[in-house]
């Protein structure tokens, strides 16, 4: 029986890193101490000279991996459509940038290159020979509001099935499968801004039942809430429209797409175990990790899962290190129990 392989995306330390509270090497050392087998680096965030890092920096990165016994797993890149004033990137420009990213990933020792949706299925297909030549796995990230049933991701799945090549695949982000708003979504608000106790109750109901939003709004008023509480609920708790949520993440309440997740696992060597808050009892509100880990084990998943902490956007008073450590402990516990 294979053990679960843990990656830690250094993106989870981004808040502390950009504030100068830790160095790049600090993040590597922390990743190892927390239980990471490997790491992911988001190139625009932590690679000096991006998109053209120096040979010296690449040597430094590889030395850090060796020093802390971490496998360089995933090199994350973006398609920067807005980098030229007056026009979006052409397909040729998107291909050139992606090829450059794959070449740098190869130099760093990373076997997976994660890109995002501006890299269309037709373009991924044209890039397959380059991925084969470099022997890297070029993967598209599926991030909320997208799900396996979103038309563009059905096109990606059709491409993967047609090519049946290990050099193309998907990185599934658990934001695509979340239920309800993060359990700490109101933490940053002043205590007198809204009735937090009531709204957290509404959030739990929103995440675990199918009570219509209109009825939940009526409940807010019935239990002493006011217009401010309803406004906060609409903006922070209730789901935004998936059809228009280009940069947002709708919440799927009680019906995340389990079977869609299962169907894409065979094209996955890496996934983002997104989370916003871990409880001390090793539960993660809003993410049905028990069922997703069960599916992964049933499908004999052998890739990495990255602990990707993004709770600092709601609460920067807790330790990102403690949160990531708890997440890894939860994953191991659920894997053993599945």
Distance CA(288)–CA(254), nearest Å, equals 9
Q: What is the pLDDT of residues 130-163, one digit of tens each?
A: 999 999 999 999 998 889 999 999 999 999 999 9
Number of C-alpha atoms within 13 angstroms, CB side, residue 9? 28
For residues 30, 34, 40 and 43, what is the CA-based torsion angle, rounded to 10 degrees? Answer: -20
Q: What is the pLDDT of residues 5-28, one digit of tens each?
A: 999 999 888 778 888 888 999 999
Instruction: Single out the residue of 203, 206, 177, 196 nearest to residue 288, CA to CA.
Output: 177
User: Could you check whether the bond before residue 315 is cis, i.e. omega within 30 degrees of 0?
Assistant: no
**What's the predicted TM-score (pTM) here?**
0.91
For the chain, 338 residues long, give each residue's pLDDT as a single digit of tens.
578 999 999 988 877 888 888 899 999 999 999 999 999 999 988 899 999 999 999 999 999 999 999 999 999 999 888 788 888 889 999 999 999 999 999 999 999 999 998 899 999 999 999 999 999 999 999 998 889 999 999 999 999 999 999 999 999 999 999 888 888 989 988 888 999 999 999 999 998 898 999 999 999 999 999 999 999 998 889 876 555 554 455 667 778 899 999 999 999 999 999 999 999 999 999 899 999 999 999 999 999 999 999 988 888 888 888 999 999 999 999 999 99
Query: Which pair of tokens denotes residue 177?
Result: 């499968």
Distance (Å) of CA 215 to CA 12, 200, 219: 36, 16, 6
The SS3 of residue 192 is coil
Element of type H or E holding 172: strand 168-173
Q: Tell me phi and psi for residue 69, to 5 degrees.
A: 55, 50
Distance CA(181)–CA(215), nearest Å, equals 18
Number of C-alpha atoms within 13 angstroms, CB side, residue 185? 23
Distance CA(189)–CA(231), nearest Å, equals 13
């Amino acid at each position: 029986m294979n053990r679960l392989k843990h990656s830690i995306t250094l993106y989870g330390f981004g808040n502390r890193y950009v504030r100068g509270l830790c160095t790049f090497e600090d993040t590597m050392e922390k990743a190892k101490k927390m239980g990471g087998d490997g790491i992911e680096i988001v190139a625009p965030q932590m690679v000096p000279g991006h998109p053209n890092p120096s040979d010296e920096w690449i040597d430094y990165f590889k030395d850090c991996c060796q020093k802390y016994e971490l496998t360089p797993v995933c090199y994350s890149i973006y398609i920067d459509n807005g980098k030229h004033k007056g026009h979006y990137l052409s397909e040729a420009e998107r291909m050139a940038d992606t090829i450059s990213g794959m070449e740098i990933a190869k130099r760093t020792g990373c076997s997976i290159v994660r890109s995002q949706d501006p890299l269309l299925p037709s373009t991924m297909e044209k890039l397959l020979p380059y991925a084969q030549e470099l022997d890297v796995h070029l993967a598209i990230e599926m991030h909320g509001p997208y799900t396996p049933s979103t038309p563009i991701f059905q096109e990606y799945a059709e491409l993967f099935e047609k090519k049946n090549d290990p050099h193309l695949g998907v990185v599934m982000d658990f934001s695509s499968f979340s239920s309800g708003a993060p359990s700490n979504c109101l933490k940053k608000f002043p205590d007198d801004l809204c009735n937090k106790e009531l709204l957290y109750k509404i959030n739990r109901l929103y995440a675990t039942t199918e009570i219509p939003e209109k009825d939940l709004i009526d409940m807010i008023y019935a239990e002493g809430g006011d217009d401010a509480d309803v406004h906060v609920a609409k903006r922070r708790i209730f789901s935004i429209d998936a059809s228009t949520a280009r940069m947002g993440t709708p919440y799927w309440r009680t019906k995340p797409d389990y079977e869609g997740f299962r169907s894409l696992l065979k094209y996955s060597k890496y996934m983002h175990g997104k989370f916003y808050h871990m409880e001390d009892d090793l539960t993660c509100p809003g993410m049905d990790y028990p069922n997703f880990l069960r599916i992964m084990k049933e499908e004999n998943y052998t890739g990495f899962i990255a602990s990707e902490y993004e709770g600092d956007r709601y609460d920067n008073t807790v330790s990102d290190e403690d949160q990531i450590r708890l997440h890894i402990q939860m994953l191991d516990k659920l894997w053993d129990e599945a």
